[in-house]
């Protein structure tokens, strides 16, 4: 099928930074919406409100487009609606960065819409885990994938086995800063290799962590310790008993008896 030859260009006309005020949020909320705008999502609104209540908001990046004699809201629907619903708890000291574009037609509105919150530019859980891991020099040599699994396994164990209020989502990676976990993270970094694909499951890493905890972090051979891990080669560290002996582990992660 031949591609449309319609002009889909857009042009930045103006870019301003303004103090974020209740009046500005209301003005932006009340702008005519672009036909490309998403439906208002209560879950997204709640997420933004939680950030507002925790004092975690940053400068908002809003945008409008001029199509003929219309000035259309292109980005910022959820944030402006959330801000207008804070009922006297409007955040102080923030800014709004507002871009204004000229577009020749509706097709260009759709192309412009695609540039905001591009899926491939989103920060993934791996990106967030890597950011927290990077704060601690003692963890720089640990492969990022196993380090992330170590944190997730520890949180899974605390939540579902211990019944503790363990953090979830991106918040769980804050635990890279726990000195008591860093020895476990380093050991998992040595244990999970291309030769042990069967161990790369959250529940298995959680069980290994549980053994580490229950045996006073005796997941390795005895001897002098640093940050809870034995100063011996990781290859000498013992796996939990239920993963040794007469059982082997298939690639699917399920135990089978010889």
Give the residue extent of every domain in the chain: 11-121, 125-257
Please give the chain's pLDDT, 258 residues, in tens: 445 566 778 999 999 999 999 999 999 999 999 999 989 999 999 999 999 999 999 999 999 999 999 999 999 999 999 999 998 789 999 999 999 999 999 889 999 998 988 777 788 899 999 999 999 999 999 999 999 999 999 999 999 999 999 999 999 999 999 988 998 999 999 988 888 888 889 999 999 999 888 765 554 444 334 434 444 344 434 555 545 433 343 333 343 333
Whole-prediction pTM value?
0.67
Tokens representing residue 148 in the block: 């992330």
CA distance 162 to 9: 56
Q: What is the model's pLDDT at position 242?
A: 47
pLDDT (tens digit per residue) in 17-53: 999 999 999 999 999 999 999 899 999 999 999 999 9
187 contacts 154 by C-beta, under 8 angstroms: no
Write a three-state SS string for the chain: CCCCCCCCCCEEEEEEEEECCHHHHHHHHCCEECCCCCCCCHHHHHHHHHHHHCCCCCCEEEEEEEECCEEEEEECHHHHHHHHCCCCCCCCCCEEEEEEEECCCHHHHHHHHCCCCCHHHCCCHHHHHHHHHCCCHHHCCCCHHHHHHHHHHHHHHHHHCCCCCCCCHHHHHHHHHCHHHHHHHHHHHHHCCCCCHHHCCHHHHHHHHHHHHHCCCCCCCCCCEECCEECCCHHHCCCCHHHCCCEEECCCCCEEEC
Say which CATH topology domain 11-121 has: 3.90.1530
CA distances from 246 to 242, 243, 255 (A): 9, 9, 10
Of 37, 121, 131, residue with least CA distance to 81? 37
Radius of gyration of the chain from Cα atoms? 25
């Amino acid at each position: 099928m031949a591609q449309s030859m319609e002009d889909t260009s857009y042009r930045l006309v103006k870019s301003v930074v303004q103090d974020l005020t209740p009046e500005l949020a209301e003005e932006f909320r009340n702008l005519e919406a672009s036909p490309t705008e998403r439906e208002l999502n209560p879950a997204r609104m709640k997420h933004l409100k939680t950030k507002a209540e925790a004092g975690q908001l940053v400068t908002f990046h809003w945008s409008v487009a001029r199509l003929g004699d219309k000035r259309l809201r292109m980005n910022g629907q959820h944030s402006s609606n959330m801000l207008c619903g804070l009922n006297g708890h409007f955040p102080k000291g923030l800014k709004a960065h507002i871009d204004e574009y000229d577009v020749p037609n509706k097709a260009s509105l759709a192309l412009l819409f695609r540039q905001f919150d591009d899926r491939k530019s989103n920060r993934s859980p791996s990106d967030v885990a890597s950011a927290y891991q990077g704060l601690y020099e003692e963890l720089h040599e640990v492969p990022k994938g196993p380090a992330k699994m170590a944190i997730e396994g520890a949180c899974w164990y605390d939540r579902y086995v211990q019944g503790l209020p363990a953090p979830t989502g991106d918040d769980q990676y804050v635990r890279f800063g726990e000195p008591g976990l860093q020895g476990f993270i380093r050991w998992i970094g040595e244990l999970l290799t291309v030769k042990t694909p069967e161990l790369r499951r959250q529940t298995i890493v959680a069980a290994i962590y549980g053994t580490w905890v229950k045996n006073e972090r005796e997941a390795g051979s005895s001897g002098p310790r640093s940050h809870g891990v034995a100063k011996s080669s990781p290859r000498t560290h013992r796996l939990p008993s239920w993963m040794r002996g007469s059982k082997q582990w298939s690639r699917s992660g399920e135990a089978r008896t010889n």
